[in-house]
A and B are shown apart, each in its own frame.
Chain A
Amino acid sequence: MAISEVVGSRGAALRRIVDSRGVPVVHRSSRELAAMAMVDDGSAVDADDEWLAVQRAVHALLAREWPAVLVPVSEVSLGTPGFADRLDDLADHHALRPACIWVKATSSGALLAAPETTEQLARGHLVGVRLDVAHGFRDRALLPDLAALGVSFAWIDPPDGHTVVDDLSGLIVGRSLVRRAQALGMAVIAPAELDGDMVPPTTQ
């Protein structure tokens, strides 16, 4: 399920994915494509709340006949026993084809704290990870472990909630993250300024 695709700023990146793959993005608060650039890590601390968001996203997918949907999931859900089973059951119940659900984890730690869940999710869905340039060195070191668990896309955010990567060290770290993720066969969704000097993606 690895995808080799490098895209620009978050909004443009998602639009390009939508254009090329017909993949819309749904966030539990926005649910609309127009707000996809605002997709960010959830602050929910309740597994039920996150599960409702997943269900809502899937229902939106079905209602609009979208081919896939992206849902942010935090360590709360990933640490809940049976979360992957519930997601599989939901996909089976609606006869969704594999890779219909893109699961974006809020951090690398959230996935690595629940390796069995991550592996199970990756078998039936696309699993990605949100990476923050502010902690890029740490996340870059963890990317091989994430890839080994089946994580197939990297969602790279500018440091600490900024909208752009506007300093040299951030650019260096961010581009390094992009290259490492690419080398591991992950799709990369990153701010446009990290596009420069990238290694062309390899086709799988």
Chain B
Amino acid sequence: MNAGGGRGVAALTGAICAIAVVVYASSLPRDPVSLLMSPAASGYPAAARPATPTQPAAPQVDLSVVVWPRGPGHARHAWALKCPPMTAACRAAMRRSLALAQDDHGPCRRMRPRMPEAFISGYVNGRHVATWIDQRDGCGVTRWRSLKGLLEQPPVPRPSAPAATAERTRTTS
């Protein structure tokens, strides 16, 4: 009798654990990239993460972006991007943080004049990035497209846009 009762308790405990695992798994992000890069990957919801009381929270995105729309040697646009507040460019940076973290994809000595290039440096979710992006081959074009929301931010902020989305704007030739 006792042995049978023990088996019943064990089976009940196992069932509860299984349900708990299923519930926990269903609460996780489905995208493996966000599992790696999201602040929620630490196990805390973003709002519930313990904050250091003495230091303000670091911005989730803190990037310098320089774009040469007509290629290096021509006019360049540069701006800084800090998030929050969350904007489309911020979401693009966070969603494509792995694309940002990629290094150059190999030597590329062919010169195709007036092809857009960009240099992005800073932090996304605490991860350092510093990378060149160009459109000189298929990989570069794919990467550029994946980061389009970040790279094609208007160089001059709209009056109604939050100031933090483009703290510094500079166009030089």
Contact = CB atoms under 8 A, between A and B. Distances in A.
Interface of A: 45, 74-76, 79, 106-110, 112-115, 134-139, 141-142, 144-145, 159-160, 169-170, 173
Contacts of A142: 72-73
Contact of B109 (A106, A113, A169): A169
Contacts of B104: 135
A134 B64 contact: no
Contacts of A79: 64, 121-122
B76 A145 contact: yes
B128 interface: yes
Given A136-B109, A137-B109, A141-B73, A75 B121 contact: yes
A47 B172 CA distance: 27
A121 to B, nearest CB: 16
A112 B134 CA distance: 16
23 contacts: A45-B128, A74-B130, A75-B130, A76-B130, A79-B122, A109-B66, A110-B119, A110-B130, A112-B66, A112-B78, A113-B64, A113-B65, A113-B121, A114-B64, A134-B107, A134-B109, A135-B104, A135-B107, A136-B109, A137-B110, A141-B73, A144-B73, A145-B76
Q: For chain B, give the interface size range.
A: 20 to 34
A142 B71 CA distance: 10
Contacts, number: 69
A141 B64 contact: no
A75 B64 contact: yes
B121 A110 contact: yes
Nearest to A114: B64
Interface in B59-97: 64-66, 71-73, 76, 78
